[in-house]
Chains A and B, each alone.
Chain A
Amino acid sequence: MSEQKQTAKGGRGIQCVVVTPETTVFDMTAGFVSLPLDDGQRGVGLGHAPFIGRLGAGEVRVTPRGAGSPPARFFVQGGFVEVAHDTVTVITQKAVAADAIDAQEARKELERIQASKAVGKVAIEARLDAAEAARAMARTAGRGR
């Protein structure tokens, strides 16, 4: 509520929404959003041209309008993002707030995946994806500290 008021006073903001199959995780007005697209991080500011992108595993960083307050950070694994009319909608099957990630758990998971063996093309790809996701998760957790 307070954010909306702020926006009305201080001009435009980006409406940022993160939805998962179970619930809407996050809904806030932001000044800048950084998204982990399939092929690299991409920033979205005010008035960005509309696009639909495929997300990889990584960190969504939502910087609130105005200086001072720290950005809200999430780890997402796969999914999509739709950007249009200063609205960023992140649609993902898995979204975890960065504070809620256990960095050590994530690192252990990565080690477990790296220690495992995969045979066959599909299995190897799945293993690489899982390792990438675990690495991104550990990175997201580590960044906040």
Chain B
Amino acid sequence: MAQARALDRRRKSVRNIRKITRTMELIATARFKKAMDRSIAARDYTKHLAKILENIASVGADVAHPLLEIRPTKRTAVLVLTGNRGLCGGYNGNVVRQSLALLGQWKSEQVSTHLSVSGKRGISALRFRGLDINETYTAFEDKPEFAAVAPIGQAYLAAYAAGEIDRLDVAYTRFEGIAKQVAVTEMLLPLAPPQAAGEVATKLASDEYDFYPSAGSILEEILPASFMARLFKCFLDAAVSEQVARMVAMKAATENAGGLIKSLSRQYNRARQSQITGEIMEILGGVEALKQ
């Protein structure tokens, strides 16, 4: 009986695990929808900013600004966006791997690096590899707020303006669609210069925008704003991707648990049956012995 009972106990525990993973999957699905809505709502802002930048570029305003200046990289900053929790497949591992590649590159080029990490998983993974982390954030969950991201962005802008950093890279998971999220490293500073969009610009140029107070002054203000928007988008993407990753991982776990329960049930039934057969044989043996 011992083996059959052990199998039954195991089957019960797998059933409990399946319940948990199934619940986590449902929670991740709900959070993903909310995070996705936020991400979509945030797109308008970026779109309008980009349009204004295009307009400024198309009137041929002098687009020289410290944030656009490409300086030789002597000191750099790296921001790594991971999750606070695990159980989401390769989500955290992929971002950590990306950041390690970048950090290794800076190390080999002997560039001093200011490392900031968001998310407990990334913090412990990078600490484990013996890296010095200058700043850590653990407050960002599935709903990063602009008010919380803004101070981080301001600090980077100030450091860049003061020449304390020459470059900023962000390692995060880009959300490219529900079926595709990629861990990437993206350079946010210096900013890519605004491009006048070909056909659209010629159409818009006929609008002949006036600029108040001047195109230069607007550019001065809009570049930091567009940096902020991009940084915020990184946080939003990371949040959405984390939920998708957890959703997928938990779905797979639930399915695996189902398979395991099936095979355990089969083993259990077989063990029980052989036990019953054994007992009958024993009884029959006893009866035969008594007859003689």
Residues of A near any B CB (own CB < 8 A): 17, 19-24, 37-39, 42, 49-54, 78-80, 82, 84-85, 89, 91, 93
Measured CA separation A22–B44 after assembly (Å): 9
Measured CA separation A50–B225 after assembly (Å): 22
A91: which B residues are within 8 A, CB to CB? 45, 48-49, 52, 225
The answer to whether B228 touches A21 (Cβ under 8 A) is yes
Asked if B128 is an interface residue, CB under 8 A from chain A, the answer is no
The answer to whether A38 touches B212 (Cβ under 8 A) is yes
Partner among A22, A42, A89, A93 whose Cβ is within 8 Å of the Cβ of B48: A89
Asked if B210 is an interface residue, CB under 8 A from chain A, the answer is yes
Number of interface residues of B (CB under 8 A): 29
A19: which B residues are within 8 A, CB to CB? 44-45, 48
Known contacts A19-B48, A23-B42: does B208 contact A93 (CB below 8 Å)?
A: no
The answer to whether A39 touches B207 (Cβ under 8 A) is no
The answer to whether B52 touches A82 (Cβ under 8 A) is yes
Asked if B34 is an interface residue, CB under 8 A from chain A, the answer is no
1/0 per residue B34-73: CB within 8 Å of A? 0000100110110011011001100000000000000000
Residues of B near any A CB (own CB < 8 A): 38, 41-42, 44-45, 48-49, 51-52, 55-56, 145-146, 150, 207-213, 217-218, 221-222, 225, 228-229, 232
14 more A-B residue pairs beyond the given contacts A38-B212, A91-B52, with a C-beta to C-beta distance below 8 A: A21-B146, A21-B229, A21-B232, A22-B146, A23-B41, A24-B44, A50-B210, A51-B210, A51-B211, A53-B211, A53-B212, A82-B51, A85-B207, A91-B49
* A–B complex contacts, Cβ < 8 Å, 14 sampled: A19-B44, A20-B45, A21-B45, A22-B145, A24-B41, A39-B213, A50-B210, A54-B221, A80-B49, A84-B207, A84-B209, A91-B49, A93-B146, A93-B228
Measured CA separation A51–B222 after assembly (Å): 15
Measured CA separation A21–B233 after assembly (Å): 9
B48: which A residues are within 8 A, CB to CB? 19, 82, 89, 91
B209: which A residues are within 8 A, CB to CB? 50-52, 82, 84
Partner among A17, A22, A52, A78 whose Cβ is within 8 Å of the Cβ of B42: A22
B208: which A residues are within 8 A, CB to CB? 50
**Which residue of A has the minimal Cβ distance to B47?**
A19
B217: which A residues are within 8 A, CB to CB? 38, 54
**Which residue of B has the minimal Cβ distance to A27?**
B44
B207: which A residues are within 8 A, CB to CB? 50, 84-85
Measured CA separation A53–B225 after assembly (Å): 14
Measured CA separation A103–B177 after assembly (Å): 44
Q: Which of A21, A78, A89, A91 has the most CB of B within 10 A?
A: A21
